[in-house]
Amino acid sequence: MKKIGLLFFLVAIFSVISSSTVCAKGVEIEENYIPDSEITAMIASNPQIIDDKLKSAMLKEVDNPASITIDITHISPQDTALGKFKRIYVYAYRSSVENVVIESAKIEFLDVELNTKRLIEEEKIRPVNKCTINMDVIVKEKDLNIFLQNKAKKIKVDNPKVKMTEDNMELSGSTKYGIVKVEFWARGNFAVKNNKEIWFHASKMKVNRISMPRNFIGTIIKKINPLMNFDKFSFNVNLKQIKITDGQIRISSLPQ
């Protein structure tokens, strides 16, 4: 079986997970940031504008949520006007990211300072300090399968399918090896490595119902690991666990 065919399939799945969790991608620390005095005065006279603009900004990150709520823990009126908050908690239900439906997405910003000018004028969330961002994202098996069916032609895999069981994810489908079509199946799980990276570990793989040797599995997997690396982000992502249960995958750093 050509390695590239299966590799495309695996990467398509893992890219879904990546895009689902990185809701603040592209954020850079502004070391010389100074709040705009006019914006500060505007917020001081109308603190509700912060809530409204945060909601508008989040709606640019996720598509068509069935519902979205934002809860802000303020420090003081003066800090609010400067864009400083003890906690910002966002919950989006049944939203869409990169054309895959996300069952729920929770994002928690702790001790964050925002660029208020960009928030008010551009409706963009841009932390200017090294705050902690916790995340909790759930993707349902059925929604991931719908996404894969829609992408089957692009990833050159027929009948791609994911099945999630306790602590395992099974991948299956068929692809061409030369002029011959072959069926494949793989089972594995995920782990957090070095507190910043997410790795996929395949424990078993079959092609046309024949088990493949471990070195063959390793050749494929090493090309795609780590699936995500949060080193490049300026904020401190607090990753704790990736949990696969029957019918869903959960990536979380929020307290259980």
Average pLDDT on 202-211 reads: 78
Q: What is the pLDDT of residue 240?
A: 75
Q: What is the pLDDT of residue 175?
A: 74
Say which range, 41-45, 57-61, 98-102, has the weakest mean pLDDT. 98-102
Average pLDDT on 187-193 reads: 78
**Cα-based distances in Å from 136 to 108, 142, 250, 255:** 9, 19, 7, 10
Considering the chain, what percentage of its residues have pLDDT values greater than 90?
A: 30
More confident residue, 15 or 128: 128
Q: Which of 245, 249, 251 is nearest to 230 (CA)?
A: 251
Q: What is the pLDDT of residue 42?
A: 97
Question: Whole-number mean pLDDT of the chain?
Answer: 78
Query: Which distant-in-sequence residues (6+ apart) come within 8 Å of 112 by Cβ?
Result: 84, 85, 87, 88, 127, 129, 131
Alpha-carbon span 163 to 144, nearest angstrom:
10
pLDDT at 18 over 70: no
What separation, in Å, do the N-terminal and C-terminal C-alpha atoms of the chain show?
Answer: 42
Q: Is the peptide bond before 77 cis (omega within 30 degrees of 0)?
A: no
Average pLDDT on 227-250 reads: 70
Q: What is the pLDDT of residue 110?
A: 93
pLDDT at 1 over 70: no
**For the chain, what is the radius of gyration of the CA atoms?**
21
Q: What is the pLDDT of residue 180?
A: 74
Continuous H helices in the chain: 3-21, 37-45, 48-61, 77-82, 116-122, 141-151, 214-221
Average pLDDT on 111-127 reads: 94
Residue 127 gets which letter from DSSP? B
Average pLDDT on 2-22 reads: 43
pLDDT at 237 over 50: yes
Average pLDDT on 30-59 reads: 93
